[in-house]
Structure 1
Amino acid sequence: MYHCLYRGMIVLFCSTALLQVQAQHNQPPAYKNASLPVETRVKDLLARMTAEEKAGQLLTLLGWDMYAKNGTAVTTSAAFEKAVADQHIGMLWATFRADPWTKKTLETGLTPALAAKAANALQQYVITHTRLGIPLLLSEECAHGHMAIGTTVFPTSIGQASTWDAPLIQQMAAAIAREARAQGAHIGYGPVLDLAREPRWSRMEETFGEDPVLITAMGTAMVQGFQGTGFNTDHTVISTLKHFAAYGSPEGGHNGGISTTGLRELQECYLPPFKAAVQAGAASVMTSYNAIDGVPCSANAWLLQDVLRKQWGFKGFTVSDLGAIPGLQFTHHVAASKQEAAAMALKAGVDADLGGDSYYTPLLAAIKAKQVSMPQLDTAVARVLRLKFAMGLFEHPYADTAAAQRAANNAAHVALAKQVAQESIVLLKNEGGLLPLSKSIKQIAVIGPDADNVYNQLGDYTAPQPEGKVLTILRGIREKLPAATVTYAKGCAIRDTSHAGMDAAIAAAQQAEVVVLVLGGSSARDFKTSYANTGAAQVQSAETAVSDMESGEGFDRATLDLMGLQNELMQRIVALGKPVVLVLIEGRPLLINWPAAHVPAIVNAWYPGEQGGAAVADVLFGDYNPAGRLPVSVPKSVGQLPVYYNYKPASRHGYVEMDDTPLYSFGHGLSYSTFAYSNLQTQVKGSAANCTVTVSFTVKNTSATDGDEVPQLYLRDEVSNVVTPVQQLKRFARLHLKAGQAQQVQWQLTTADLQLLNTQLQRVVEPGTFTVMVGASSKDIRLKGQFEVK
């Protein structure tokens, strides 16, 4: 009996062992086990991948040709299936993008629900038709709204910065992220953190202006709005910071041109917004096209490794701008071949290749030639995979088509777009209190090329818009004054020099009580314009092109004058003697010396987005009290450039023709309310090694109208061992004060606010005297005081 029992126990043991072995063989690999740490999963997956599969994960191909649409059915395209089979691709860019460059229209592009279907089709194919089933990362343009059909279009970044309201911009970014993620996107390109001191440059509209502190506040707000408290959600996206670094002040205003900044200025002005955004958690950084001191940013190991990773602790992945790696060969001529360019970029620290021209065949050839090592390749791949795991894509790769449609352009987001537009409007001039206009006006003329042009008020990187979605300024005024006769005449175009509409505009103005003249610029792309491989427009001369577009990527300017016949139209209308309000729609500050001298009221709306017409009408007729502030100085002449406010002493003096000051200074903006500043107090605790300075003052609304005020605190180090700015913004806030209300403002300056870069490029606080300046703009200083650091 014992023999039989023993035999039975052996059989049972063997059977159990066999089942355990079978169970182990049936278990998914470790990288598919969501309960394991991310690093364990990354290591396991890397060990299973071939060199070709690894290289494919670093490719970010153009996405709009990767789906096939037939009515309401969306499937993968032959191009996508070939890319998966031949290149093992890991990422796509601009899959849902629609614009003249992509040739995607309202008819051929994707609605939000169809975009989610497309994303799901792509994910399902790559998961089921590849050996390892690694899901895709989908990147989308998101700087002022997800650049896709049916989404909410907010004001462009220069307008966002004009709000001086970082919490509002964080709300806006969260709305953009929700719309993009609902459609299946995972990465939002933005914010653009380029410090812009060159308004001739075509992309100023994409920036937060000329000041590192303002850019830092807006940029970190965008990152926090995009990324929320984590990536593994249905409403957040990874934020990709653009463009690293010193891209926004190119020599001569040439897009993608060289930067002439020195190392000190780079670290004082251009890098701090990126550092702050990285410390706020930004998980992706895009390298820029330009070179700094002869070293292209996409081959700059000091920038991408020493600064970004070692000094700042960045843990995410970097990506080139579109075509920037081939640009090492064809633009900068620092590489003799695509293979050499790929090796240079990867070794410098560029993890992903936007466009996909360099990081497959050329990179694999570089690895075979031992120009790049397998550990270097693995490091880049691991950074991409790490985020795929962190976002939960291996467990939840698919989007909800119903949720995508609900999220896009919903009522809450439309209301938010209107609020951002309202807060972004800058009242530059209001002579004699012409504004706000009376709602009892019976006859008003709305004139100008930007008065009723949908795309002219939306900016670059904007998708096609369905009829009726965007409120133009003409429509906003008509809805505001339903009983009035509102006459519209275009008058002229932005760049065309035809006089065909001029007489009709003058006749309309003659019959009106008030004229609202809407002039400026345009970043509206059209299907007649040709585009470079990077998506930048290829500009024809003003004599041969009649497109309105004079701003937006690729449209650099030699002058900043109003183009075409706009000045002539304005001067003829002003000569009629009617009350005239000039509304500027623009992507960069234009020269407005003549209207500043002759037009009583000037409103700058930048590109105010889809609710811009309603927001402008609210300001014109007093339903919203403007409080936007300029994030960039408005020059009097291109001969003054650069004309930023925080210049270094002894670098400015007047010219033979004019002084050296801007027409309107950084931080300028008027209101229908008046405000008084008083009782400035400063208190210093500690010494230079570790100190805090408490600055307090009182702001009072001295008018009978509720309104917002934007107090600004500037600092000057009176004597320093290196040259420091004449003033530098350190703190600001947007306050709402009721009529007669006073509020005490208290800010704490820290050691970081008082530091400079000494002669050894070390950040230190030098003992000495500092001047505090508090006011309504960099020029309109109301209170001054000094404190001593021991």
Structure 2
Amino acid sequence: MSIQVASEYMENPDGVVFRDLNGNGVMEPYEDPRLPAAERVEDLLGRLSLEEKAGLMFISIVSVPDSGNLEDETPRSGRVGVRDTVANKLVNHLNFHYVPVPNTAAKWVNELQRHALESSPHGIPVTLFTDPRHSFIENWGASFTAEYFSAWPEPLGLAAVRDEQLVREFATIARAEYTAIGIRGAMHPTIDLATEPRWARQYSTFGQDKDLVARLANAYLDGFQGPELGADSVECMAKHFPGGGPQLDGEDPHFPYGREQVYPGGMFDYHLEPFKKVIARGVSCIMPYYGMPVGLVLDGEPIEEVGFGFNRQIITGLLREKLGFDGVVCTDWSLITESRLNGKQLPPRAWGVEHLSVEERVLKVIEAGCDQFGGEECPEIIVDLVRKGLVQEERIDASVRRLLRVKFDLGLFDNPYVDAEAAAERAGRPEYVAAGELAQARSVTILKNDGAEHPLLPLAPGVRVYSEEMDPNVVAASGLEPVGSAGEADVAIVRVAAPFEFRDHYMLESSFHAGSLAFDTETIEKVRRLSEQVPVVLVPHLDRPAILTPLEPHCAAIAAVYGASDSALLKALTNVVPPEGRVPFQLPRSEAAVIGSRPDVPGDTEDPLYECGFGLEL
């Protein structure tokens, strides 16, 4: 049975409003929903204990057990279970990792919300967040595969189509699927600019062009948040301020070797542009990156070389005061304490302040101007800081006021529950799945299309296809004939991932595709030998740029994808769905050109093989 929250209110002679919070007939004190949200915030804020306020300032990580029972959770190493996190630590912002089937997930969410209302002193509901989970890349530090939701191309693929309405449609559908299971916070969009070709996070961006990124980011907010936050909205957390693309040598600051962010081309302001646009549009929350600026000078003032989440000049001086952002600022995950997962460790991302104690790091983040600590659950430290007189409670109130306002705007205080029975019908609906596959096909980018007498693409019905990577049943269903050898084929389709260097020392490291963009000799030789027998259609999955130079001469056609099923790809290659993609970043000609480019400058590699915006029509 779905949970219904009572719509009737009682008011005693003193003006205190009561409500049946848990559907059990017991009327309890409640913030009056008839008051404006700002008044409700002030009313509740004045009644909260310091411990409750501190709890609001953390987002902890949680995975839902397959049973959907709250008590069946297996806590992460070194962490307490979600029941204790909510009831005892009073943390009521949670970050979903593993999520089971929609009905089970929704059931768990309802149990969690009931637990939060019953166990916390003032019945504050939980806000559930997630990283992106509508595409193909599984990276527990940044994104999840679509699984039970509709599957779309990565944001790079949406950028390849360059259609704001498509982004708006995606975000509207994603919002419907999120809210079906109780997710009300999106830790995206990623509006960093893909200016360093080796950087591992490019797949979740909209590419290198600031104007395109800004346009698509606002369309994204249209779909997720709506005109303003409301009971059907998902709040967005735009990241990573002030722009996470210019990483030294393309390394990612999740890891100690990637902590430095540099601006040799003097393009700091270029990376700010998308943030200015989403702030003007009304984004709910902004996340600063781990990166530590090196040698950065703004308005004649050297910027402290500490991670952006610790940096008062960046958070208070630039984001708050200069750009006028008064929403929530949430740090990236685990700036304060180390992380452990599957036997691997990752140190605190306290770049530039590694020497500080845990308490000193928390203090520096608060003094920087941040409101919330991502991936942490140590509110007792904030309580101690206030009681020692190191932080004024009024400073804590400023952050809590912002955090409460979002909960009220989302309607969580009025109804935190979801309809568990309807969750499976609302997530992964056939029309959503079809829309996602159509977007995948549209995003395919034709980079080359040659042939002996005429262009190889589109493939005509009945063409004999050899492919080691594709499902022959899908090939047949697309009107083509799958064959078992290159000698029998009219064309070979070769799907390849963009190159990367496998690393597995730190936790999460193996999921980050970093390092060289050059293909290995084995892949190059495979394509060359195949091309001697049959025309080759190369299909690189570009989660970041790849150096296609040694492969290009051996391919009759090249069709880049950014997350596409075999079915969606073949729809594009047969022109059933015309491929519209334009590559959203420059594709370099050589490793030397990549090494010689400046990380903060878009399209800075010398003599690129394909320029940003290139794409052929069929």
TM score, norm. by length of structure 2: 0.84
Q: Tell me, yes or no, if the aligned pair for 2:264 and 2:600 is still in contact at 8 Å.
A: no
Distance 1:239 1:253 in 2: 26
Q: CA deviation at 1:487?
A: 2.9
Q: CA deviation at 1:325?
A: 3.9
User: Residue in 1 aligned with 2:563?
Assistant: 607
User: Residue in 2 aligned with 1:589?
Assistant: 545
CA separation of 1:524/1:481 partners in 2, compared to 1, >3 Å: closer, same or farther? farther
Q: 461, 466, 471: which is aligned to 1:445?
A: 466
What are the residue-to-residue correspondences of 1:327-476 with 2, within 5 Å?
330-333=350-353, 336-357=356-377, 359-432=378-451, 433-441=455-463, 443-447=464-468, 451-452=469-470, 474-476=472-474
Distance 2:49 2:265 in 1: 41
User: Residue in 1 aligned with 2:149?
Assistant: 151
What are the residue-to-residue correspondences of 1:418-567 with 2, within 5 Å?
418-432=437-451, 433-441=455-463, 443-447=464-468, 451-452=469-470, 474-481=472-479, 484=481, 486-487=482-483, 508-521=485-498, 532=506, 536-537=508-509, 539=510, 552-553=511-512, 555-557=513-515, 559-563=516-520, 565-567=522-524
User: Residue in 2 aligned with 1:230?
Assistant: 228
Quick check: 1:85 aligned with 2:87?
yes
Q: CA deviation at 1:46?
A: 1.5
Q: CA deviation at 1:530?
A: 6.3
Q: CA deviation at 1:30?
A: 8.4
Q: CA deviation at 1:356?
A: 1.7
User: Residue in 1 aligned with 2:276?
Assistant: 275
Q: CA deviation at 1:202?
A: 1.4
User: Residue in 2 aligned with 1:626?
Assistant: 579
User: Residue in 2 aligned with 1:240?
Assistant: 237
User: Residue in 2 aligned with 1:575?
Assistant: 532
Task: Give the SS at the match of 2:261.
Answer: coil
Aligned length: 558
Q: 255, 259, 262: which is aligned to 1:260?
A: 262
Distance 1:141 1:280 in 2: 21
User: Residue in 1 aligned with 2:217?
Assistant: 219
Instruction: Write the letter of the residue equivalent to 1:229.
Output: P
Q: CA deviation at 1:616?
A: 1.2
Distance 2:582 2:441 in 1: 12
Task: Give the SS at the match of 1:384.
Answer: helix
CA separation of 1:317/1:30 partners in 2, compared to 1, >3 Å: closer, same or farther? farther
Quick check: 1:298 aligned with 2:256?
no
Distance 2:517 2:177 in 1: 36
Q: CA deviation at 1:588?
A: 1.3
Q: Tell me, yes or no, if the aligned pair for 2:175 and 2:223 is still in contact at 8 Å.
A: yes
User: Residue in 1 aligned with 2:301?
Assistant: none
Q: Tell me, yes or no, if the aligned pair for 2:585 and 2:612 is still in contact at 8 Å.
A: yes
Distance 1:382 1:152 in 2: 35
Question: Higher relative contact order by CA 8 Å / sep ≥ 6: 1 or 2?
Answer: 2
Instruction: Write the letter of the residue equivalent to 1:520.
Output: A
Instruction: Write the letter of the residue equivalent to 2:107.
Output: K
Q: CA deviation at 1:264?
A: 5.3
Instruction: Write the letter of the residue equivalent to 2:553.
Output: A
Q: CA deviation at 1:419?
A: 2.0
CA separation of 1:403/1:281 partners in 2, compared to 1, >3 Å: closer, same or farther? farther
Q: 196, 199, 206: which is aligned to 1:198?
A: 196
Q: Tell me, yes or no, if the aligned pair for 2:199 and 2:250 is still in contact at 8 Å.
A: yes
User: Residue in 2 aligned with 1:286?
Assistant: 287
Deviations 1:667-688 (A, max 9, x none): 100012xxxxxxxxxxxxxxxx
Distance 2:162 2:350 in 1: 40
Task: Give the SS at the match of 1:302.
Answer: helix
Task: Give the SS at the match of 1:155.
Answer: coil
Distance 2:505 2:176 in 1: 30
Distance 2:94 2:523 in 1: 42
Distance 1:307 1:31 in 2: 38
Instruction: Write the letter of the residue equivalent to 1:281.
Output: G
Instruction: Write the letter of the residue equivalent to 1:568.
Output: E
CA separation of 1:228/1:25 partners in 2, compared to 1, >3 Å: closer, same or farther? closer
Q: Tell me, yes or no, if the aligned pair for 2:498 and 2:517 is still in contact at 8 Å.
A: no
Can you give the 5+ residue segments of structure 2 that lack an aligned partner in the other structure?
A: 1-9, 19-27, 74-79, 136-142, 254-258, 295-304, 338-346
Distance 2:551 2:11 in 1: 84
Distance 1:350 1:60 in 2: 13
Distance 1:127 1:150 in 2: 28
CA separation of 1:172/1:237 partners in 2, compared to 1, >3 Å: closer, same or farther? same
Distance 1:52 1:408 in 2: 37
Kindly indicate which of the two structures has a greater share of residues assigned to strand: 1
User: Residue in 1 aligned with 2:140?
Assistant: none
User: Residue in 2 aligned with 1:666?
Assistant: 612
Q: CA deviation at 1:305?
A: 2.2
Distance 1:582 1:163 in 2: 20
Q: CA deviation at 1:69?
A: 4.6
Q: CA RMSD in A?
A: 2.9
CA separation of 1:69/1:626 partners in 2, compared to 1, >3 Å: closer, same or farther? closer
CA separation of 1:532/1:409 partners in 2, compared to 1, >3 Å: closer, same or farther? farther
CA separation of 1:329/1:272 partners in 2, compared to 1, >3 Å: closer, same or farther? closer
User: Residue in 2 aligned with 1:638?
Assistant: 591
Q: CA deviation at 1:230?
A: 3.3
Distance 2:163 2:289 in 1: 27
Distance 2:83 2:436 in 1: 38
Q: Tell me, yes or no, if the aligned pair for 1:194 and 1:246 is still in contact at 8 Å.
A: yes
Q: CA deviation at 1:410?
A: 0.7
Q: CA deviation at 1:330?
A: 4.7
User: Residue in 2 aligned with 1:46?
Assistant: 45
Identity %: 26
Q: CA deviation at 1:172?
A: 0.3
User: Residue in 2 aligned with 1:712?
Assistant: none
CA separation of 1:307/1:285 partners in 2, compared to 1, >3 Å: closer, same or farther? same
What are the residue-to-residue correspondences of 1:312-323 with 2, within 5 Å?
312-323=323-334
Task: Give the SS at the match of 1:24.
Answer: coil
Q: Tell me, yes or no, if the aligned pair for 1:143 and 1:191 is still in contact at 8 Å.
A: no
Distance 1:666 1:258 in 2: 26
CA separation of 1:583/1:26 partners in 2, compared to 1, >3 Å: closer, same or farther? closer
TM score, norm. by length of structure 1: 0.66
Q: CA deviation at 1:368?
A: 2.6
Q: CA deviation at 1:334?
A: 5.4
Q: CA deviation at 1:564?
A: 6.7
Task: Give the SS at the match of 1:444.
Answer: strand
CA separation of 1:272/1:143 partners in 2, compared to 1, >3 Å: closer, same or farther? farther
CA separation of 1:400/1:408 partners in 2, compared to 1, >3 Å: closer, same or farther? same
Deviations 1:29-58 (A, max 9, x none): 986101112222111212111111110111
Instruction: Write the letter of the residue equivalent to 1:573.
Output: L
Distance 1:523 1:119 in 2: 38
What are the residue-to-residue correspondences of 1:34-183 with 2, within 5 Å?
34-64=33-63, 67-70=64-67, 77=73, 79-94=81-96, 97-98=97-98, 109-142=99-132, 144=134, 147=144, 149-183=147-181
Q: Which protein shows a greater Rg?
A: 1
Distance 2:202 2:48 in 1: 43
Distance 1:393 1:573 in 2: 58
Deviations 1:600-657 (A, max 9, x none): 211101222xxx3222111222223222101100001121126599969xx98xxxxx
